Amino acid sequence: QLQASGGGLVQAGGSLRLSCAAAGRTGTAETMAWFRQPPGKEREFVAANRRSGGNTFYADSVKGRFTISRDNAKNTIFLQMNSLKPEDTATYYCAARYGRIINSAMGDVSMYHYWGQGTLVTVSS
């Protein structure tokens, strides 16, 4: 029900925009987020958005470089990634939860019920 796209190969300092289209009721989820999983590492939180209020949350590693946004009419979330670094290389996943998540738990993988298939982002140095 979540379809991520937009990944690819980019040089360090470049930009990419990821999209995640939510089908059906998933598009009305209160909380939608992006996670990433670097090669050989655990999945980690990147950014999240609340439908009500539009609050956004970011991992410290991407603050000031990445922007999460949401188009409720199109049931789509985006992740604009600027000033990319080689350490941003990972498979990026979008996730959704119908209910609200408290601020401190936004980055908890177990809070999310739905996951997209992932899109690979490779940043070359």
Q: How far is CA 33 from CA 2, 11, 18, 44, 79, in A?
A: 11, 25, 12, 11, 9
pLDDT tens, 40-50? 999 999 999 99
Q: Are 33 and 95 in contact (CB under 8 A)?
A: yes
Average pLDDT, the chain: 94
Return the pLDDT at 108. 95
pLDDT tens, 76-93? 999 999 999 999 999 999
